[in-house]
Amino acid sequence: MTRPARSLVHLALLGLGFVALFAAGGANAQAVATPEGAGTLFGGLKALAEAGGDKGALSLSLQVLLLMSLLTVLPSVVLMMTAFLRIVIVLAILRQALGLQQAPPNQLLVGLALFMTFFVMQPSVSRINAEAVQPWASDSIPAEVAIARTGDVLHGFMMANTRESDLKLFADMAGSGPFATPDEVPMRILMPAFATSELKTAFQIGVLLFLPFLVIDLVVASVLMALGMMMVSPIMIALPFKLMLFVAVDGWSLVMSSLAASFAGG
Q: How far apart are CA 193 and CA 95, in angstroms?
A: 27
pLDDT tens per residue across span 147-196: 778 878 888 888 888 888 888 888 888 887 777 787 778 888 888 889 89
What is the average per-residue pLDDT within 227-250? Answer: 81
pLDDT score at 52: 42
pLDDT score at 58: 53
pLDDT tens per residue across span 102-138: 778 888 888 888 888 888 888 888 888 888 878 877 8
pLDDT tens per residue across span 22-77: 444 444 444 444 434 434 344 444 444 444 444 444 566 776 777 677 777 777 77
Our measurement of the distance from residue 2's CA atom to the centroid of its chain's CA atoms, rounded to an integer in Å, reads 32
pLDDT tens per residue across span 74-96: 777 777 888 888 999 999 888 88
